[in-house]
Amino acid sequence: MTPDNPSLLEARIARARDTCRSLGLDGLLVCHLPNIRYLTGFTGTAARLLLTSDRIVLLTDGRYRSVVQTRQDGPDACPGLTLALADAGYDHATAELLRGAEGVIGVEAAHLTLATWLSISQGARLVPTRGILESLRIRKDSSEIAVIREAARRLSAVAEGVLADLGPGVRQTDVARALEAGMWRIGFTKPAFDTIVASGRDSALPHARAGEAVLVPGDLVVLDFGGLFCGYAVDMTRTVSLGEPSDEARRLYGAVEAAQAAAVAAVRPGARFVDVDGAARDLLVASGYGEYFVHGTGHGLGLEVHEAPRIGPARPTESTEGMLAPPEPVRLEPGMVVTIEPGAYVPGFGGVRIEDDVLVTDDGHELLTTVDRVLRVC
């Protein structure tokens, strides 16, 4: 599957130019690799990109000369792309490139080090910006949606297989490796993050990874895993019980399950991010677990596993003073893909999280991950 054919890249480049123009910029220096990939399809691990009204120059090093050539001439060519080589080092080559650019050039403040800023800013009119390309990436186009939908289908298949085999006596790391092996087998290029398998008391730690502990009857086990498929990330969590769950474990699970269902049901165009979060949070508060829900309800998915939008409670808006930035959306729109993953973590007892990937459609939502949410007893 190719999420970046020439006509899609052309449309993205045109929208990026429109956004720059609306902010009064004559160009944008792009340093964040997912943003470069979004505009050009380039998948290398080192590059910078200068986008102006009439040029799109990819700066990379000799290792990627052939990759760039396919992006210039191949069937997936990026329209108008020219190549510059950073043989004398990236900062030096970037400074050269900027000296030849006219007008005010935006830089991605979140993705440029202070050292680079200092070495490239002489002789150029640079302005810090924030979120320009991220504001485009937040809504997926049709080919991105097709890739993410297929990735979620495959991740669900992996989960079904591993959960069906799960039982006491294996180590957390064994289960993590089984999930990752399943992802490799089914076509993912790599895990999207360190796989989490947290059992027993570890399940009460939202940041737990997978360790040497052995799964034993009575454990709640949180499994959070995801992979990259054709460049796009999907991410899901299920919590299972090893053996018959206690009444307290059932109550905890039921509360998180209801909260997750309420937040998924709230996903539709026009819904405010804070209200989707509130749909889950209000139920957990009402069932007495509010203080144990210590993170946001979800995050965007795309070329990065954590990207805009943030589905969480209201918090003070970060200052964009001194930076040019497009307005930040506060509501869901068709084409956004988000996770819905409330959890509750009771210290010393255990935790539950349930996470699905959800596409915002024109009139509601489509659940992309499909594994059953009823408490599974393994």
Figure out which of the listed residues 134, 202, 224, 357 binds Zn ion, where binding follows CB under 5 A: 224
Does 356 interact with Zn ion (rule: CB under 5 A)? Answer: no
Q: Which is nearer to Zn ion, 76 or 366 (CB)?
A: 366
Q: Which is nearer to Zn ion, 37 or 238 (CB)?
A: 238
Does 277 interact with Zn ion (rule: CB under 5 A)? Answer: no
Figure out which of the listed residues 339, 344, 356, 358 binds Zn ion, where binding follows CB under 5 A: 339
Do 271 and 332 touch, CB atoms closer than 8 A?
yes
Figure out which of the listed residues 4, 144, 219, 235 binds Zn ion, where binding follows CB under 5 A: 235
CA dist 277 and 285 (Å) reads: 12
Interface mask (CB under 5 A) for Zn ion, residues 282-321, using x and -? ----------------------------------------
Which of 176, 261, 221, 234 has its CA nearest to residue 359? 234
Q: Which is nearer to Zn ion, 68 or 311 (CB)?
A: 311
Which of 332, 316, 328 has its CA nearest to residue 364? 332
Does 180 interact with Zn ion (rule: CB under 5 A)? Answer: no
CA dist 330 and 292 (Å) reads: 25
* Contact window for Zn ion (CB under 5 A) among 138-146, 219-227, 278-286, 309-317: 219-227
Q: Which token pair is 288?
A: 């007495």
Q: Which is nearer to Zn ion, 116 or 339 (CB)?
A: 339
Size of the site for Zn ion (CB under 5 A): 5
DSSP letter assigned to residue 243 = S
Strand positions, DSSP E, the chain: 27-30, 48-52, 56-60, 81-85, 104-108, 125-129, 190-191, 196-199, 220-229, 232-241, 298-300, 307-311, 337-340, 343-346, 350-353, 356-360, 365-367, 376-377
* Contact window for Zn ion (CB under 5 A) among 5-13, 206-214, 242-250, 352-360: 352-360
Residues binding Zn ion (CB under 5 A) = 224, 235, 237, 339, 355
